[in-house]
Chains A and B, each alone.
Chain A
Amino acid sequence: MEQANTEHSHGLHMDPQVEYSSSKLGMWLFLGTEIMLFGGLFAAYAIFRAKYPEMFLEQHQELNREMGAINTCILIFSSLTMAIAVSAIQKGKRMLSSILILVTIVCGLGFGVVKYFEYGAKFAHHIYPDTSIFFSLYFMMTGLHMLHVFVGLLILGVLMVLTWKGKFNEKYSTPVELGGLYWHLVDLIWIYLFPLLYLVG
């Protein structure tokens, strides 16, 4: 346990070390709730796949594997650039860090564009969320994930500007680290979604 500031700790200023470890703990707890949120959908997936294996086998062929694979690569790559961005700002390289966050954002946008064409193709074939249980799952899971990508992009946008302006340095870079954790979670969830939905059988 960190020693709290014992001498005349008026005001609410926390010890920076305590503040850092508090923020990290808080973020991990929040990520835990995100897992539980998606957990409901994963549970539904498991139940319905066990119930209708043929439906999953047949209908997943409507999904575009190539596009899914490209998106998987894009997201994994963006996680890499984000990880390097975090490590760069911890070394005080704010220029490098903000450029890497920008690359991450571009990847996230690219993911969105690919997904836009995928959804568009589904609608063109008259495939909607109410078409079947499989497509209900497909749209709900990827839709909720897409929502998280958008939120992530907003966070990354703010972080990029702040990093560029020099708000963070080797002594204080907690928000960048937390944003990175969130982005990795978004990536991680997709890594599960891709095989479950696109690579059935």
Chain B
Amino acid sequence: MANHAVAANVYVPFLEKKGLLSWLLTTDHKRIGILYLVSISLFFLVAGAIALLMRFELLTPASDFVSPHTYNVLFTLHGSMMVFFFIVPGLAASFGNFLIPLMIGAPDVAFPKLNLGSYWIYLLGTVIVAIALLQPADTGWTFYTPYSATTDADVILITLGVFVLGFSSILTGMNFIVTIHKMRAPGMTWHRLPLFIWASYATAILQLLATPVVGITLLLLIAERSLGVGFFDPAKGGDPVLFQNFFWFYSHPAVYIMIIPAMGVISEIIPVFSKKPIFGYKAIAYSSLGIAFISFLVWAHHMFTAGISEVAATIFSFLTFLVAIPTAIKVFNWVATLYKGSIELHSAMLYALGFIFLFTIGGLTGVFLGALAADIHLHDTYFVVAHMHYVMIGGTVMGFFGAIHFWYPKWFGKMFNESVAKLSWFLIFVGFNVTFFPQFFLGIQGMPRRYATYPEEFESLMALSTYGSWLLGLGVLIMTVNLIKGLFSGEKAPQNPYGSLSLEWQIPSPPPLENFEEIPHVTDWTYGYGKKKEVDA
């Protein structure tokens, strides 16, 4: 591992400068990471609050709290905000920005100004969508035609906002790929890279190749509404299913844009708190690329009931099963890393363990949906809602919370209250399961998604789900308060509280302005915990 002395007399923490402009005009990747972290967290909290409203409406079978139309608007807002403003930029933009240069031993990303530009573009997108909220769309976050082309609500503005966000995503992905290729410290070979870097690399490839396709799709939808172009309009000879093909060609890979960085986070947390080298390093690294590759071949499994041919459906069903292979490779390797480790149940580790448990449920129920015959019954039911939330909350959000608790001391130089963190983890974990596990049963019994009302026989399960959402909301609230409180009154964080071997922990907390006093020379991989293990490059 690299060792380099830190001269205390020139240490200027990157958080030193104050003032709004020092943030909005910064080209420091660590600050840009914070800008993203704050922005996406705000969207997460707002969209989460909207979800609580929806669950409150679903407490009883009748629509007595909000009207069905308002309910449509709510799930559209919840979905679009969570997907496009929180979870897609999510870990990749916030922790990717903070960690990639630190982990590879670089002073910054390859294009620092472009990095700031990406954030501004993200902000522009959020402003456009905020304006769009004045006349909110009711299409759902998927903007399916023909409804999105014909509804009276303003679809153009919100899709334009998402289109602009895409640029931010593309430029960030490009920046990260170039950074990982060109900025690694001497001795930081590909097979010594931390697994979070491999995950970020795979994510960036997806951002580059998939995002332009949703860009052109939304552009065509805008042209459909404004110029009368007819690609998706059967009356003009177009095909509404074409929209679904285009949309999912992006949005399925986007699912992996959401989850792969979280997998990278888990690969970092588990060896540190198991005091063991990561098991199957290369398998985990290459399985990220494997997932990225397969993700481009499975989009039509969202469309089994949309009238695609049986041959196509069968092929896509088979290809979908293939995703389970690289995913399971990761899960098995994490479990093998835990095996006989001396496990420390730090709050970050609890989130990592929660990830493995919940994501496995989410992943396996995904196989149900990928199976052609089962999907015909389960399509567009609460089973899909439950599956998706097990992957997105149980997976990505668990990874996101784990990352916050893990790197918090490094990033902000403060400690949070660990007992409160454990309590909030418990509430989130239990609340999540109470909210979403009943939805599997609701789905199997035939309850369709996206309705404000439901038959009375579903009331007990629906109410249970709503009670769970209160527990989940309470947990997130306590966690948020605990983390914010730590910023102001937390103890000062040591340089390396967990004894991690990764480069970012070998410099002071918070990191100095220029990251490394001297660019480190790397001589070993990052995971030599307990005993040394050589991995040749």
Given A21-B182, A33-B208, A136-B229, the answer on whether A26 and B110 have CB atoms closer than 8 Å is yes
**B residues within 8 A CB of A26?**
110-111, 174-175, 178
B215 contacts A52, C-beta separation under 8 Å: no
Bitwise, B181-200 to A at CB < 8 A (1) or not (0) is: 11111100000000000000
Q: Check A66 for interface membership: any CB of B closer than 8 A.
A: no
Q: A4-B186, A34-B212 are in contact. Are A22 and B230 (CB under 8 A)?
A: no
Contact among A32, A133, A140 with B209 in the assembled complex (CB-CB below 8 Å): A32
Contacts of A139 in B (CB 8 A): 227, 229
Main secondary structure of the interface of B (DSSP, over half): helix
**From B175, B231, B514, B518, contact of A133 by CB (8 A):** B231
Number of A residues near B (Cβ < 8 Å) is: 44
Q: Please measure, in the bound complex, the distance between the C-alpha atom of A2 and the C-alpha atom of B183, giving whole angstroms.
A: 9
With beta carbons under 8 angstroms apart, the residue of B107, B175, B228 that contacts A128 is B228
Q: How far is the CB of A15 from chain B (nearest CB, A)?
A: 10
**Given that A1-B184, A26-B178, A33-B170 are contacting pairs, would A140 and B519 also be in contact in the complex, using a CB cutoff of 8 Å?**
no
Check if A39 is an interface residue, CB within 8 A of chain B. yes
Residue A44 interfacial (CB < 8 Å): yes
Q: Which of A25, A32, A40, A140 contacts B182 (CB 8 A)?
A: A25
Q: Which bucket holds chain B's interface residue count?
A: 35 or more
The verdict on B216 contacting chain A, using a C-beta distance below 8 Å, is yes
Q: Is the CB of B185 within 8 A of A4?
A: yes
Of the listed stretches B41-49, B234-242, B437-445, B457-465, chain A binds B234-242
A6 & B186 in contact (Cβ 8 Å cutoff) = yes
In the complex, the answer to whether A40 meets B213 with C-beta atoms within 8 Å is: yes
Q: How far is the CA of A38 from the CA of B215 in the complex (A)?
A: 10
Tell me how far the C-beta of A139 lies from the nearest C-beta in chain B, rounded to whole angstroms.
8
Binary contact readout A8-20 vs B (1 if CB under 8 angstroms, 0 otherwise): 1111101000100
Q: Which chain B residues lie closer than 8 Å to A52 at the CB level?
A: 237
Q: Decide: A140 near B242, CB < 8 A? Known: A29-B177, A30-B174, A33-B212.
A: no
Taking CB atoms and an 8 Å cut-off, the chain B residues in 197-215 that contact chain A are 208-213, 215
A64 on the interface (CB 8 Å rule)? no
Query: A-facing mask of B218-259, CB < 8 A → 1, else 0?
Result: 011001000111110000111100100010000000000000
Tell me whether A29 and B208 are in contact (CB under 8 A): yes
Does residue B532 face the partner (Cβ distance < 8 Å to A)? Answer: no
- Whether A37 contacts B215 by the Cβ 8 Å rule is yes
Q: Write the chain A residue with the least CB distance to B249.
A: A40
In this complex, which of B108, B236, B237, B514 has the most chain A Cβ atoms within 10 angstroms of its Cβ? B237
B227 contacts A129, CB within 8 Å? Answer: yes
Task: Identify A12's interface contact among B112, B217, B239, CB under 8 A.
Answer: B112
**Contact between A44 and B211, CB atoms less than 8 A apart:** no
Asked whether A61 is an interface residue with its Cβ less than 8 Å from the other chain, the reply is: no
B533 within 8 A of A: no
Are A25 and B178 also in contact (CB < 8 A) when A40-B217, A130-B236 are?
A: yes
Interface: B17 (CB within 8 A): no
Q: How far is the CA of A48 from the CA of B102 in the complex (A)?
A: 49
B237 A132 Cβ-Cβ under 8 A: yes
Is the Cβ of B231 less than 8 Å from the Cβ of A12? no
Are A130 and B228 closer than 8 Å at their CB atoms?
Answer: yes
Assess A29 versus B246: contact at CB under 8 Å? Given A3-B186, A133-B236. Answer: no
Q: Please pick, from B177, B209, B231, the residue contacting A136 in the complex, using a CB distance under 8 A.
A: B231
Among the listed B111, B213, B217, B518, which residue makes an inter-chain contact with A9, where contact means beta carbons less than 8 Å apart?
Answer: B518
Cβ-based interface call for B282 (8 A)? no
Are A6 and B227 in contact, with the CB atoms below 8 A?
no
Q: Is the CB of B518 within 8 A of A36?
A: no
> Cβ of B521 < 8 Å from any Cβ of A?
yes
Chain A residues near B212 (CB-CB < 8 A): 33-34, 36-37, 39-40
CB contacts (< 8 Å) of B220 on chain A: these are 40, 44, 140
Is the beta-carbon distance between A29 and B178 smaller than 8 angstroms? yes
Interface residues of A (CB under 8 A from B): 1-6, 8-12, 14, 18, 21-22, 25-26, 29-30, 32-34, 36-41, 43-44, 47-48, 51-52, 55, 128-130, 132-133, 136, 139-140, 144
Nearest 8 A-B pairs (CB), nearest first? A130-B228, A40-B216, A37-B212, A36-B212, A136-B229, A129-B227, A22-B182, A33-B212
The contact sample of 27 A-B pairs, CB cut-off 8 A, is A4-B185, A4-B519, A9-B518, A11-B107, A12-B108, A22-B110, A22-B178, A22-B183, A25-B181, A26-B110, A29-B178, A32-B208, A33-B211, A34-B212, A36-B212, A37-B212, A39-B216, A44-B231, A48-B231, A48-B237, A51-B237, A52-B237, A129-B229, A130-B227, A132-B230, A132-B237, A136-B230
- Which residues of B are interface residues toward A (Cβ below 8 A)? 107-108, 110-112, 170, 173-175, 177-178, 181-186, 208-213, 215-217, 219-220, 223, 227-231, 236-239, 242, 246, 514, 518-519, 521
